[in-house]
Amino acid sequence: MKDYFNKNLFSYKRRETIPVSIGDFGIGGENPIRIQSMTTTDTMDTKGTVDQAIRMVNAGCELVRVTAPSTNDAKNLENIRNQLRNKGYSIPLVADIHFTPKAAEIAAEIVEKVRINPGNYADKKKFQQIEYDDNSYNDEIERIYDRVSPLIKICKKNGTAMRIGTNHGSLSDRIMSRFGDTPKGMVESALEYLRICEDHNFYNIVLSMKASNPLVMVHAYRLLVESLNNSTLKNYPLHLGVTEAGEGDDGRIKSSIGIGTLLDDGLGDTIRVSLTEEPEFESPVAKVMVDRYKERKDHYKIDPPNKIKFSPFKYVKRITSEICEIGEDNFPVVVTDLSQLNKITSESLGELGITYDNKSKKWERLDISPDYLYVGDKNIKIDDLKYNFILDYDYWLSQKKNDSYYPLLNINEFKNLNSGRLSEKLNFLLIDTSDIKDISTIAIPKNFVLILRSQNDHFMPDLRSFFMSLNINNPVILSQSYELDYSDKLIIHSSTDIGGLFIQGYGDGIFLTNKSQGLEEIKKINNLSFRILQAARVRVTSTDFISCPSCGRTLFDLQKTTAMIRERTDHLKGLKIGIMGCIVNGPGEMADADYGYVGSGKDKITLYRGQEVVKRSINFKYGVDELVNLIKEDGNWIEP
């Protein structure tokens, strides 16, 4: 993989893979990046599943996955397939299998592709630590060989493709005992099955390494590719996805950080965006991600640094000095742009949570109020307001000395500065990645923070190259200006570009600007900035929800319940709450959550405190109240 990265760190090229046939449909090889999604209906509801699948196809879905938790569900896939064909839809179907090998064997004779999870196909997860020596571990591999071989033979006979889909949340006790809860364990879980497939000369395979944490997911996929490159195994196509991404903006942000980072690396042949929403909403989001890479190979040339300093498989934060609580071990700061407002008033600041308290006679701020306000050359006439303002340099020079005003210089102003006045505390220097030669030849004082932008479509690798060439330890705020309405496109592009850099250890702040800068737009951009930092897990300012996208295994209204839980608990800063439709991936994917709300039967849920079951068989109608009561009992409740 290091060789792969050395070749592809600074230019876009999709990883070469063998082609895989999904019926008459191709993944990998010379095929475009494919988009897929999954039904959420009961698989035994043939009409409901067919109708939903058609809505998904009409929204841009190219492969439809359907859960088959039982042999009866697997048999009913034939009825679903036939009805779709009768209605003129020849889209490939994928059977999603957990726990039931017999269901997989039935489905493999009906549909074009079967997805199996190595964590629960022949293994189990009870969070038990098991001691193995090499002989006993090899015996387990032999047992798996015998268990999975019948499915491989059926797939080979019928021309059925297989996805070996590892989930971070459902690694088996066997894998966990030997490799731990790690990307290495995720990769080895898949490779065990892959070696068995190749022993049967079966190669019609797609691989995936999904996790709810984008950082774990990115490391696992990169490690998988390195493992394939350093073995005799073939280069199989990759299915990308972030599990349990959630709903709304949060689901889109988290998915973009994980999937987008890998697409930027040239990895990925098919993607699924998992949202806690109706499945027809997933494919349009995935299409926005994929469309960025149709012409990516034509991006501006990126000059590689003299020395490559990059850790593909682990998080290493860039070492910086601290300036006014920016850099070093401080949380990344948020800069919000007010420069396009006609007038900056107390009312406009109030929209950002910056308000004056008449009792204390002080200005106060919320956790999601920006740390710095960029005002350009706009006049600020608000009595007794002490806040961190960034002003254009010429305008800053014209102002009376104010210890909360800081100048922003462009590179030419800085080079021509001579003995011009600066702030003794903090100054900002706006630069482009193309300014690296200037930055390398001039001395930048320690009280300067850089604000870094790029004009290159291949934004993330361009900034990555800049950081590798940078020989100073001044903090750097990541910035980009977009010409988009506030939409999925803006959310996805900014989350990929900026969020992807944060999970790679780059950046001490975020500064997003957009073409439309009315007050409502400014508020949305500010909130987006904080949500990107939270999804990248570098700054927490609200509750962290880990919620699955629902499927036919979910036996309660997941979307409605997720919205109810969010409404009641969204103010609990730093608390992690898992909301899972069933036990397949639930307890595992929310293993680091403080509390879990997991489906356990028809209209029944189980509450978890961490990995501990607290209450079982609660009617989901009362589940949210019971969850709130549990949080209160533990002393973790704060009144909103």
The model's pLDDT over 531-561, given as tens digits with 9 standing for 90+, comes to: 999 999 999 988 888 776 656 566 667 778 8
Confidence of residue 289 (pLDDT cuts 50, 70, 90): very high
Task: Provide the token pair at 74.
Answer: 């697997």
- Using a pLDDT cut of 90, give the percent of the chain over it: 62
The model's pLDDT over 587-614, given as tens digits with 9 standing for 90+, comes to: 666 667 889 888 877 778 888 888 788 8
Question: Is 169 exposed, middle or buried (CB count within 10 Å of its CB: 0-12, 13-18, 19+)?
Answer: buried
584 or 183, which is more confident?
Answer: 183
> Is 60 exceeded by the pLDDT of residue 2?
no
CB 146 within 8 A of CB 194: no
Domains of the chain: 2-298 (3.20.20.20), 322-535 (3.20.20.220), 544-633 (3.30.413.10)
CA of residue 445 relative to chain centroid, distance: 36
Task: Provide the token pair at 217.
Answer: 């997911």
CB 187 within 8 A of CB 143: no
Task: Provide the token pair at 392.
Answer: 């254009």
SS (H, E, C) 284-300: HHHHHHHHCCCCHHHCC
131 or 152, which is more confident?
Answer: 152
Confidence of residue 127 (pLDDT cuts 50, 70, 90): low
Q: Is the dihedral of CA 237, 243, 248, 250 positive or negative?
A: negative
Residues 6+ apart with CB under 8 A from 51: none
Query: Is the pTM of the predicted complex or chain greater than 0.85?
Result: yes
Q: How many CB atoms lie within 10 A of CB 518?
A: 11
441 or 630, which is more confident?
Answer: 630
Confidence of residue 221 (pLDDT cuts 50, 70, 90): very high
Tell me the C-alpha distance between 369 and 381, whole Å. Answer: 19
Task: Provide the token pair at 243.
Answer: 């599990």
Task: Report helix angle 214-229 to 183-199, nearest 10.
Answer: 40
Tell me the C-alpha distance between 83 and 77, whole Å. Answer: 10
Measured at the alpha carbon of residue 194, what is the angle toward residues 154 and 237, in degrees to the nearest 5?
95
CA of residue 436 relative to chain centroid, distance: 30
Confidence of residue 1 (pLDDT cuts 50, 70, 90): very low
Q: Determine the pLDDT at residue 269.
A: 98
H-helix segments, 231-390: 248-264, 282-291, 346-350
Tell me the C-alpha distance between 555 and 558, whole Å. Answer: 8
Q: Determine the pLDDT at residue 560.
A: 80
Confidence of residue 500 (pLDDT cuts 50, 70, 90): very high
Q: Determine the pLDDT at residue 234.
A: 97
CB 75 within 8 A of CB 310: no
